[in-house]
């Protein structure tokens, strides 16, 4: 996998990192704005200018962004969002030319090939990840801790999950992480990734509690990042310690 | 209803129900004496165990108003009770927010002779409580995201309300400015629509009927694709004034602060009107309500006048931030994540804290670290303190505003109650 700078940036120096928040009117049930704010903050801490586009479902998703964010949503909004994203084509085009995508919960299911609709009927997704989701037997609600695929170099994930999804992976994707405590995909793994498309069930929001994952997405756009001044990282590291201590992973 | 009203309603209950209310009442008193709560739930729990249909029995023959929504239930229940109270009749009410079945049972059992009841109901339980009580009036305030780790999703809630209200023979008083509420009441037989306003729009960008984007123009809204639109209203909140169905407007001079409480007041006036209470006497009664279950209370602590505001979800925080007295009065924010609060703190990121920039801010509560990270992202300067006293000591201010979520609010009240 290519971990070098993404299209449009890196080689041109610090031009703005373009963040696109996809359909906050449909896919933002629980603090999903946090992922956007953390990406913007961590870019600015490195002196990188940021441009933010919040794109509602009656607007076209621009194909020229660097990082696309999709959040959580209820069943009906999820189906509507998938339908509109498939019809619009902007997100798939962006992912196709190597833009980074972080998709959370309902958004995670949407970027797969198929998920369960309001009555459990199969609904086609965008096919950016080779995954398929349906309804699990029990609702996963609570704190979750998971160890990230070592290839990604991101510290242990901490988050909050609230879903009844069960997700099956095809051969084209790898699990994002191995669950230490919690439900995740339902088979001991959590999330999935392929290329620069990352999906996860984690709220928290996930990038708030896991700045390493935010930095990974930014590095896919701009290349190697300078470290953040430790004083600017102190609070969030404290939050990570607190949350990880609150859910001790089994030895 | 053909049953005549007995001198004491309790004597009209079947033996087992009488036993259930007596045993339950004793348990409630014991709970209060033991300091384990205000006693408004435990009695009902025990009563229901002895007699599962106790609520229906206790409700029989009474005129009942149910009040539900995500925000303002407890306050609006209090305002309606105050307005209807001008009729001079005894009113049963779960005034302290115990709003599930056991709380309703306790409220009715405590007031066996009350012919009227104003009961707040948890959003999830509205359909069941409507069936059990045979309520005459159902009041729908608003519907927004709240404690999603334990509550149903709100579009799903709206669907359940819609089905229950379509099947019931009651009058619905509904906020026409909230599209989810309007849709939920859309098939009810008798609806009084109130333009009560909607400050929080983030859960109603899309049409609950078809999912298309809603078009908004001020408080007016309509779907761009299907016929769903804001229904014609008969009561209107217009700034500081209420316009009644005759077109007459009056100033709302409430002791309770803020737009949200003016909204609650207008809805309470519309409910009171169903019972023949005139706008003037109803408004006089509503205007005198000073604090509701400790909310908006002023408490003196070590020479600092604290005002306590409860905010349980993003819409509530928005309303609370709206009514803060201006800088430089310091603000303390307190957040917990116990079961009644919702264990997920992600909602903190749905609240815009930027307007707290430039004034002293203190953060406390069991999840103050989550709150601190949130404020840092919004570039709000703050100090972390162990409890409210830490904030009072550091602030050295004659007054302070305090916003807390549910259990954090109760903890602060318990701490202040010991010396206040």
| Paired strand residues for B309 | B403
Average pLDDT of chain B, as a whole number = 90
From A41, A160, A204, residue closest to B377, measured CB to CB: A41
Residue (of A22, A2, A12, A174) closest to A98 by Cα position: A2
Kindly report, residue by residue over B304-354, the tens digit of the pLDDT.
999 999 999 999 999 999 999 999 999 999 999 999 899 999 999 999 999
Instruction: Confirm whether A163 is a catalytic residue.
Output: no
C-alpha neighbours within 13 Å on the C-beta side of residue A187: 9
- Chain A contact for B381 (CB, 8 A cutoff): no
Identical fold at B9-287 and B298-419?
Answer: no
Rounded to two decimals, the ipTM of the complex is 0.93
Instruction: Confirm whether A3 is a catalytic residue.
Output: no
pTM: 0.88
- Chain A contact for B159 (CB, 8 A cutoff): no
Residue (of A49, A58, A16, A54) closest to A36 by Cα position: A54
From A26, A56, A236, residue closest to B373, measured CB to CB: A236
- Chain A contact for B347 (CB, 8 A cutoff): yes
Q: How much is the pLDDT for B200?
A: 86
Q: Which of A31, A229, A246 to mutate to test the interface with B (most CBs of B within 10 A)?
A: A31
From chain A, the residues in CB contact with B345 under 8 A are 31, 160
From chain A, the residues in CB contact with B154 under 8 A are 74
Among the residue ranges B241-250, B338-347, B388-397, the one predicted with the least confidence is B338-347
Domain boundaries A17-246, corresponding CATH code: 3.40.50.880
The percent of residues in chain B predicted with pLDDT above 70, rounded, is 90
* Mean pLDDT (whole number) for B265-288: 98
Closest approach of A229 to chain B, Cα-based (Å): 14
From chain A, the residues in CB contact with B149 under 8 A are 141-142, 160, 162
Q: How much is the pLDDT for B98?
A: 87
* Mean pLDDT (whole number) for B124-141: 97
Q: How much is the pLDDT for A1?
A: 39
Select from 1.10.1380.10, 3.30.450.90, 3.40.50.720, 3.90.190.20 the CATH code of B298-419.
Answer: 3.90.190.20
pLDDT tens digit at each of 251 positions of chain A? 344 444 444 444 458 999 999 999 999 888 999 999 999 999 999 999 999 999 999 899 999 999 999 999 888 889 999 999 999 999 999 999 999 999 999 999 999 999 998 888 999 999 999 999 998 888 889 999 999 999 999 999 999 999 989 999 999 999 999 999 999 999 999 999 999 999 999 999 999 999 999 999 999 999 999 999 999 999 999 999 999 999 876 65
Closest approach of A63 to chain B, Cα-based (Å): 22
From chain A, the residues in CB contact with B369 under 8 A are 235, 238-239, 242
State whether B346 and A31 contact (CB < 8 Å): yes
Kindly report, residue by residue over B62-106, the tens digit of the pLDDT.
999 999 999 999 999 999 999 999 999 999 999 887 899 999 999
Residue B266 corresponds to which tokens in the numbers above?
A: 């207008």
Buried b (16+ CB within 10 A) or exposed e, A152-168: bebeebbbbbbbbbbbb
Residue B140 corresponds to which tokens in the numbers above?
A: 């729908």
- Chain A contact for B148 (CB, 8 A cutoff): yes
Q: How much is the pLDDT for A76?
A: 85
Q: How much is the pLDDT for B246?
A: 97
Kindly report, residue by residue over B10-33, the tens digit of the pLDDT.
556 776 677 677 666 666 655 555
A and B: number of Cβ contacts within 8 A: 93
State whether A162 and B213 contact (CB < 8 Å): no
Between B50 and B319, the more confident residue is: B319
- Chain B contact for A58 (CB, 8 A cutoff): yes
Q: Is the pLDDT of residue B153 over 50?
A: yes
Name B127's Cβ contacts closer than 8 Å, sequence gap at least 6.
B160, B161, B163, B164
From chain A, the residues in CB contact with B378 under 8 A are 37
For chain B, what are the domain ranges? 9-287, 298-419
The percent of residues in chain B predicted with pLDDT above 90, rounded, is 74
Q: How much is the pLDDT for B29?
A: 58
Secondary structure (3-state) at A212: helix
Bond into B284 cis (ω within 30):
no
- Dist CA B240 CA B266 (whole Å): 11
Question: Could you name the CATH architecture of B9-287?
Answer: 3-Layer(aba) Sandwich (3.40)
Closest A-chain CA to B344? A160
- Chain A contact for B393 (CB, 8 A cutoff): no
For chain A, what are the domain ranges? 17-246
Q: How much is the pLDDT for B2?
A: 40
């Amino acid at each position: 996998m290519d971990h070098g700078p993404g299209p449009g940036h890196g080689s041109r120096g610090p031009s703005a990192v373009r963040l696109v928040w996809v359909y906050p009117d449909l896919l933002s049930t629980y603090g999903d704005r946090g992922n956007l704010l953390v990406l913007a903050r961590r870019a600015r801490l490195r002196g990188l200018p940021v441009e933010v586009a919040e794109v509602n479902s009656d607007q076209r998703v621009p194909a020229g962004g660097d990082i696309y964010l999709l959040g959580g949503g209820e069943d009906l909004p999820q189906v509507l969002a998938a339908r509109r994203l498939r019809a619009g084509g902007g997100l798939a085009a962006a992912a196709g030319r190597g833009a980074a995508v972080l998709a959370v919960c309902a958004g995670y299911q949407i970027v797969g090939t198929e998920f369960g609709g309001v009555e459990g009927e199969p609904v086609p997704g965008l096919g950016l990840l080779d995954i398929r989701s349906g309804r699990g037997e029990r609702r996963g609600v609570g704190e979750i801790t998971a160890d990230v695929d070592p290839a990604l170099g991101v510290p242990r994930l901490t988050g909050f999950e609230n879903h009844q999804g069960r997700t099956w992976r095809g051969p084209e994707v790898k699990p994002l992480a191995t669950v230490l405590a919690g439900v995740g995909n339902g088979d001991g793994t959590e999330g999935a990734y392929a290329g620069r498309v990352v999906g996860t069930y984690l709220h928290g929001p996930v990038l708030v509690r896991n700045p390493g994952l935010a930095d990974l997405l930014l590095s896919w756009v701009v290349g190697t990042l300078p470290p953040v001044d430790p004083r600017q990282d102190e609070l969030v590291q404290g939050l990570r310690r607190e949350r990880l201590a609150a859910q001790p992973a089994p030895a | 209803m053909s049953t005549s009203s007995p001198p004491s309603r309790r004597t009209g209950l079947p033996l087992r129900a009488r036993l259930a209310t007596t045993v339950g009442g004793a348990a409630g008193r014991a709970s209060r004496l033991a300091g384990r709560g205000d006693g408004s739930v435990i009695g009902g729990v025990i009563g229901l165990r002895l007699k599962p249909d106790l609520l229906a029995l206790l409700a029989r023959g009474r005129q009942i108003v149910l009040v539900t929504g995500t925000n303002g239930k407890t306050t609006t229940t209090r305002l309606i009770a105050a307005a209807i109270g001008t009729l001079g009749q005894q009113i049963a009410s779960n005034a302290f927010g115990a709003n599930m079945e056991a709380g309703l049972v306790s409220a009715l059992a405590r007031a066996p002779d009350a012919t009227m009841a104003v009961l707040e109901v948890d959003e999830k339980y509205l359909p069941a409580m409507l069936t059990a009580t045979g309520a005459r009036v159902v009041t729908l305030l608003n519907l927004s995201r709240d404690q999603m780790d334990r509550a149903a999703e709100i579009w799903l809630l709206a669907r359940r309300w819609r089905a229950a209200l379509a099947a019931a023979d009651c009058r619905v008083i509904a906020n026409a400015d909230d599209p989810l509420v309007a849709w939920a009441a859309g098939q009810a037989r008798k609806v009084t629509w109130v333009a009560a306003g909607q400050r929080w729009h983030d859960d109603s960008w899309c049409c609950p009927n078809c999912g298309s984007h809603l078009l908004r123009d001020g408080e007016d809204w309509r779907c761009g694709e299907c016929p769903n639109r804001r229904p014609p209203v008969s009561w209107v909140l217009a700034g500081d004034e209420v316009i009644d169905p005759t077109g007459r407007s009056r100033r709302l001079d409430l002791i309770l602060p803020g737009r949200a409480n003016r909204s609650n007041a207008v809805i309470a006036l519309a409910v009171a009107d169903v019972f023949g209470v005139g706008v003037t006497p109803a408004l006089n009664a509503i205007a005198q309500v000073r604090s509701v279950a400790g909310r908006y209370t002023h408490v003196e602590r070590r020479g600092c006048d604290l005002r306590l505001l409860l905010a349980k979800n993003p819409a509530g925080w928005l309303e609370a931030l709206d009514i803060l007295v201006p800088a430089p009065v310091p603000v303390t924010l307190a957040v917990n994540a116990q079961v009644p609060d919702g264990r997920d703190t992600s909602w903190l990121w749905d609240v815009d804290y930027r307007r707290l920039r430039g004034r002293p801010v203190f953060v406390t509560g069991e999840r103050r670290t989550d709150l601190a990270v949130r404020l840092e992202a919004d570039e709000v300067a703050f100090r972390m303190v162990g409890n409210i006293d830490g904030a009072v000591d550091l602030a050295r201010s004659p007054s302070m505003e305090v916003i807390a979520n549910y259990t954090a609010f109760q903890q602060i009240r318990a701490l202040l109650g010991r010396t206040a």
